[in-house]
Homo-oligomer: A and B are copies of this chain.
Amino acid sequence: MTGGCPRTSTGEIAYPVEVDYAYARVPGDLFSPATALLPSAGLVRWAPLVPPLDVPGLGEGGTPLVELEPGVLVKDESRNPTWSHKDRYNRVAVSAAARLGAPGVVVASSGNHGASAAAYAARAGLRCVVFTGENLPPAVDAFLHAYGAVVLPVPVAARWPLVRRVADEFGLHPVSNLTLTHTGHAFGPEGYKTIAYEIHADLGVPAAVFVPTGYAELLFGVWKGFTELCRLGVTDRVPRMYACEPAAGGPLARALRDGVAATHVEVGPADAYGIACPVGGDRGVVAVRESGGEAILVDNEQLTAARAELARSGLWAELSAAAGLAGLRALRSTGRSPDLDGPVVCVSTSSGFKDRAVGSGARTSSHEHGGGVGAEWAEVYRRLRTDGIGYW
């Protein structure tokens, strides 16, 4: 489940176990608009096409598409139970732990993934051990503890070996990666693919999907969901998949350029901590190539501009979460954008609460788009104070 495919993996590249289904037995009306979409159902809505849901849900998924401008929609994944897309992953991955009889889960994460695993483990009455980096965002620190996780800050290089060791010694089920190149938990993308089902229910098949990309599990999951809709005869095409990686890293862009299945990169300083990954996996390469998409690198400035653009539309996203929109803007600005015939969807993965600057005293957002007290209001404020002896 988490060690990669034993037959195809090599000493340099790990390949994930790929999950297949008895597609011929999927009920014909699963994608019918008449089928109820009650938000409380969560991933159960798609039970015939997801792994067994052994642990109780939190109403994950069912997130809205929010129009940013005509033809550009944001899939707002901050509307999940722990306010990120990771809840789709952890409903199925923690279910695997329960099915295997593990006493809990272990995960390496300094952000959304660990918090989400902790929430689903808590709900299922399972233990959760999270190896974090030493610079945990204040909000993530607070909610990991709230869910009752055991939080162990360790050096970055130690995280994966420690996950393996704790898994071996204590029988905790690992829900993050253990392999040389990324494979992650085999069930993760099976949760993510429900994003494709929902986009299809809302909109049909868009021309392209722009996805914040770290290990590319989300990118692959969304792509897989659309390929399944084709396979089942529900649709006849798959959107172009655009991987949007921080320019400080970009293992998928490198792998595509070098024509390899997966590779490693050095990661420079990146504020988008959620997707600044040193290692990729072959699933991202497959999703981009098969769909006629591309890997786009976005720098901090482009990410910050995209985050501000989202906030101007009422969506406060984590910096990493703005990578999808940043990628769309970057692609359009190059002039080499292919003819995207139809609406495009940018996935926004998480809420702005989770950035490091929030609660640390630094206020990065206020000056991004003139949101501070401008000259006009500074004057009003001064006058209110001067006049306002009765109030102050």
Q: B-contacting residues of A (Cβ < 8 Å)?
A: 33-34, 36-40, 42, 56-59, 62-67, 76, 78-83, 119-120, 122-123, 129, 138-139, 141-143, 145-152, 154-155, 157-158, 161-162, 165-166, 170, 198, 201-202, 307, 311-316, 351-353, 357-360, 363, 365-366, 368-374, 377, 380-381, 384, 388, 390-392
- Of B66, B81, B151, B307, the residue contacting A373 (CB under 8 A) is B151
**In the complex, are the beta carbons of B357 and A142 less than 8 A apart?**
yes
The chain B residue with its CB closest to the CB of A360 is B359
The chain B residue with its CB closest to the CB of A56 is B67
Question: Which of A59, A314, A368 has the largest count of B CB atoms less than 10 A from its CB?
Answer: A314
User: Contacts A39-B37, A139-B358, A371-B146; is A381 near B152 (CB within 8 Å)?
Assistant: yes
**In the complex, are the beta carbons of A352 and B64 less than 8 A apart?**
no
Tally of this chain's copies = 2
User: Contacts A122-B312, A145-B365, A365-B146; is A34 near B37 (CB within 8 Å)?
Assistant: no
User: Contacts A314-B81, A316-B119; is A152 near B373 (CB within 8 Å)?
Assistant: yes
**In the complex, are the beta carbons of B315 and A58 less than 8 A apart?**
yes
**In the complex, are the beta carbons of B59 and A40 less than 8 A apart?**
no
- Of B67, B78, B388, the residue contacting A158 (CB under 8 A) is B388
**In the complex, are the beta carbons of B365 and A142 less than 8 A apart?**
yes
